Structure formats: C-alpha cells, structure tokens
C-alpha cells in the first residue's frame, strides 16, 4: 500500500496528485470516488466553489477525467477497469439548479448536499454513455452505501446526534457494512462489463427518475468542464 496525498476540495491538489500518479507508470484498474462532506455551513473551497458541490462532485469529476486515459489503457475486454462513485439515497430528493449550482441565491445545507449527490449520479450515467460510445474497456457505476455510522454526521443538529448515538447500533450500518456494496462494485465478477448501474445492498436498483434525463446529464457535463477548466470533447458525441 502506498499513500499519495490528494485534497478533493482543491483543483490544484488534484492535478498535482494525478501528475505524481502518472509518473509512476502504474496501471489503474479501480477508481473509487468516495470523499465527501455533509450538511456543512455555507462556505467555499479554495477555488471558490460551494463546498458540497466543489468537494463531493467537482473534485471527483476532475479527478476521474484526468485519470481516464490511464483507466482506458488498463482495461481489457475480459477485465474492464472500473470507476465506482459513491452517492446517497439523498439524491432522490435532490434538485439540480443549473443556473445556480453554487447555491448562491438561497443556501440550504440539505439542498446543497442532495444536489451534489444527484450530480454524481448524473455524471456516472453520462460517463458510461461516453465510455460505451468510445468502445472503452472501462465501466462506471454509482453506489448507495446506505446509512452508515461515521463522522459524516458531525454537522447535524445536536438533537439528531443524540438520536443517532442512541439508535445507531440498531438502524445504522457499520463502516464495514457500508463499504460492502462499493467493494462489490469494485471486484465482483457479477458486474464485470456492466456499467451505468445504481447499486444498493449489492443489487442493481432504480435511481431517481431525473437522473436518467440525458439532456440534463449533457448540460451538467458541459458546465462541469467549464468550471474545472478542462476541454469538453464529449460535447461532440451523441
């Protein structure tokens, strides 16, 4: 195991990480996008992005795009490289505000978090479409880990913290249990060659209806490219 530092809230850090990783000339068979914050007060990343959208979504969007060439070179017909992005059931209530992705007009921690998780699902579906169109041996899937007992809940109201402390043993998954579907998506032969899936409890399930809106997927992708400063070559594809 080797550690390389990468701050998903910093576009500069992401680019430096990718440069360091590429210098090692290593293949990349599995990429798991799993960094995130939840219900944080209104604040910005060093690049000026609303933190939920900047860290949870844009950081992973840039990282994945910068590593795509390596992933494509690493995948084969019999063993596809895999991209696993961790979203949340919160995406079901999320709304994507293309005219206000930074939540400047009206900030809600819950709304901003849900939007970032919906964006991850839209991104995954669009990415898989592009990978398929290019004939790449790479698959992209999105995972819902369920309600997991981690420090992600440190910004919730104190009443919720008390309830969580009292009931976590009964209703919350352990971190090990929460990781099971991500591991399944990363290594299971059952999903070899399968992409564009929403996985929950190691099963394919249906995501929010809006996540299947291909026009919304395309528009989010194009806008995301502008925000992180990469070329939108995908805009020329159907």
Q: What is the pLDDT of residues 147-169, one digit of tens each?
A: 544 555 444 543 444 444 445 44
pLDDT at 176: 72
User: Nearest-CA neighbor of 211 among 89, 111, 106?
Assistant: 89
What is 9-234's CATH superfamily?
Answer: NAD(P)-binding Rossmann-like Domain (3.40.50.720)
How long is the chain?
Answer: 238
> Lowest-confidence range among 73-87, 169-183, 218-232?
169-183
**What is the percent of the chain where pLDDT is above 70?**
85
Q: How many Å apart are CA 235 and CA 223, to the nearest integer?
A: 11
Cα dihedral 150→155→161→164 (10° resolution): -30
- pLDDT tens, 4-31? 999 999 999 999 999 999 999 999 999 9
- pLDDT exceeds cutoff 90 at 170: no
Q: Which percentage of the chain shows pLDDT scores above 90?
A: 73
For 86, the enclosing helix (H) or strand (E) is strand 81-86
pTM for the whole structure: 0.88
Q: How far apart are CA 12 and CA 69, in angstroms?
A: 19
Catalytically active residues are 113
Q: For residue 172, what pLDDT is reported?
A: 62
Contact 49, 12 (CB under 8 A): no
CB 126 within 8 A of CB 237: no
222 or 238, which is more confident: 222
Q: Which residues contact 28 (CB under 8 A, 6 or more apart)?
A: 21, 67, 70, 71, 74, 81
Higher-confidence position of 37 and 81: 81
The pLDDT assigned to 150 comes to 52
Q: What are the residue ranges spanned by the domains of the chain?
A: 9-234
Across the chain, the runs of DSSP E, i.e. the strands, are 30-33, 81-86, 138-144, 198-200, 203-205
């Amino acid at each position: 195991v080797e550690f390389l530092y990468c701050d998903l809230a910093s576009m500069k850090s992401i680019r430096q990480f990718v440069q360091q990783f590429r210098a090692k000339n290593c293949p990349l068979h599995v990429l798991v996008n799993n960094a995130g914050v939840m219900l944080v007060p209104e604040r910005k990343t060093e690049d000026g992005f609303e933190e939920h959208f900047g860290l949870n979504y844009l950081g992973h969007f840039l990282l994945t795009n910068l590593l795509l060439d390596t992933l494509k070179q690493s995948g084969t017909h019999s063993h596809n490289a895999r991209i696993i992005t961790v979203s949340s059931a919160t995406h079901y209530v999320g709304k994507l505000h293309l005219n206000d992705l930074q939540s400047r007009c009206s900030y809600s921690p819950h709304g901003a978090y849900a939007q970032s998780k919906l964006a991850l699902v839209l991104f995954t579906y669009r990415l898989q479409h592009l990978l398929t169109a290019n004939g790449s041996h790479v698959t992209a899937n999105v995972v819902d880990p369920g309600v997991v007992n981690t420090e992600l809940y440190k910004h919730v109201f104190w009443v919720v913290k008390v309830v969580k402390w009292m009931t976590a043993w009964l209703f919350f998954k352990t971190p090990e249990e929460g990781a099971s579907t991500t591991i399944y998506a990363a290594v299971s032969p059952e999903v070899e060659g399968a992409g564009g899936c929403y996985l929950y409890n190691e099963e394919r399930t249906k995501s929010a209806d809006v996540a299947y809106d291909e026009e919304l997927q395309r528009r989010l992708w194009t806008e995301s490219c502008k925000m992180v400063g990469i070329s939108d070559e995908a805009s020329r594809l159907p």
